[in-house]
Structure 1
Amino acid sequence: MKRRKAKKLSNRLVLAVQYADLQAARRLLRAGADADRPDSHGTTPLYAASVHGDAEITDVLLAAGADPNRESGHGDEGLPLCAAACWGHDDAVRALLAGGADPNRREDGGAGMAPIDWTTQEGLDSTTELLRGAGAFRPLQLI
């Protein structure tokens, strides 16, 4: 596929995901959109689905080859699991964990926050328990 067409498909896929348009996302994937390719702003489709808590689109993207441990964007964005966790989107968290997301992976190339850091900071007990059930832990903080 030519680079220009691939870029257009990626931009359209992220937009479809942001609008929670499952049918459009499926259609774009069938047309050759790469489930793991970011749009022109650096946002990956999986991050967009995760931050909006769309577990169904998350499942579709994972099945199409999206990497659940790939960071998205620049600055404000990060890992799909952190995005879903910090908003308490439990269904999306479950989908990401089932799709292979590492519950202890930290954002910002390993120097940032892990999903459980977000959930404990925000007081999201049910999401924290989901992450703990998947093996997430918070290291001891030395004073």
Structure 2
Amino acid sequence: MMSDSNPTKFDPLKSFNTLRDNLSRTIQQGIRQVLPNTYPALDIYQIDDNLIIQTEALIGLAPNTLEVSIEENTLMIKGETIPSADIPETAYLLRERVFGAFGRSISLPKPVIAINAKSTLKNGILTITIPLLKDQSHIVNITPIQE
């Protein structure tokens, strides 16, 4: 016979919400592994003779982990984000932000002079300015040779 002295109430909505939050967190953490080339989001535009690349805000960027390089007209951005506080996993009621190492590479839409690239980091937004390679075409004159 069952005792009713300490009944445990089953709350299906709470169980569902916990399951949904855990699944969402697992998916978010796996997104960087499945789609590693989508973070951080970028804007690329041209002003005068410069290509400008801006990232979304890099919240929680670990000091001295940000690395920017350009190789064969491919821009690479690497870094690591860390949580702002040491909060136990069990304390979270909702956790949507994802932390850890990230890397992004993208082919630049125009040829650039990589050695003259400059970057700034302000309010978590990385701005990279790269001079465009000017048109290097040249008309070659033909000198007739008398035989």
| TM-score, structure 2 as length reference | 0.26
Pick the structure with greater CA Rg: 2
Higher strand share: 2
